[in-house]
Amino acid sequence: MTSVFIISAPSGSGKSTIVNRVLAEDPKLVFSISYTTRQPRGAEKPGVSYHYISREEFERRIAAGEFLEYADVFGNYYGTHISMLRQAEAEGKDLVLDIDVQGARQLRRKVPDAVSIFILPPSRKELEHRLRARSEDAEEVIRRRLEGAAREIEDYRDYDYILVNREVEASVAILKAIIQAERVRTRRMEPEVRPILKTFEDRS
């Protein structure tokens, strides 16, 4: 049985670092590579960073109902194709999705059993420090990211788990613990439990 893990966080919260560490240490996880209509940036690679397709092709796939969730962000589409879930199911792995609160809301409607985790920075001040330390964004972009973070954080109650990223090692351990706990939920353990119960029925 495949579990779906939704991970959301404001930009700069350390989400990518935490998720990449957990993916590297857990071979039973597969990362969902999103589809987008924007052009590759920097060292991004097709099929690794994103699946890059045209706007026309993306809209054709929307009409065909192929996306578990999608959004138009600053004029470009981003979405999770249903094939990512089918692939994880075929491989007997769990699927990890890195998506924003809007996408998470859509996906929970399609996959009600999905497990959602929201990663928070310890404070606005620390988030701003991390964004500036990356030295990647202009002042206006940093301001916009901080404003976006304030809006996103308002939806934290919609998530099953909250992970406050004070220190990377501890956050990695917490995320791994959440994943392991979800794997031994009753509904997931049923196939393993049935043969055990059967041994109690056979009293010969």
pLDDT tens-digit map of 10-19: 888 889 899 9
Asked if the model's pLDDT at residue 88 lies above 90, the reply is: yes
Place of tokens 């976006």: 148
**Amino acid identity of 53?**
I
**Cα 24 from Cα 121, distance rounded (Å):** 23
Domains and CATH numbers, the chain: 4-32+93-201 (3.40.50.300)
Model pTM score: 0.87
What average pLDDT does the chain have?
A: 91
What pLDDT is attached to residue 25? 96
What integer is the mean pLDDT of 113-131? 90
The residues near 54 (Cβ < 8 Å, ≥ 6 apart) are: 37
Instruction: Tell me which of 70-79, 107-116, 157-166, 175-184 is least confident.
Output: 70-79
Asked if the model's pLDDT at residue 74 lies above 80, the reply is: no
- Would you say 118 and 161 are in contact if contact means Cβ atoms under 8 Å apart? yes
Cα 105 to Cα 92, 143, 201, distances in angstroms: 25, 25, 44
What integer is the mean pLDDT of 65-90? 92
Range 20-31 burial, b when 16+ CB lie within 10 A, else e: ebbeeebeebbb
Asked if the model's pLDDT at residue 204 lies above 70, the reply is: no
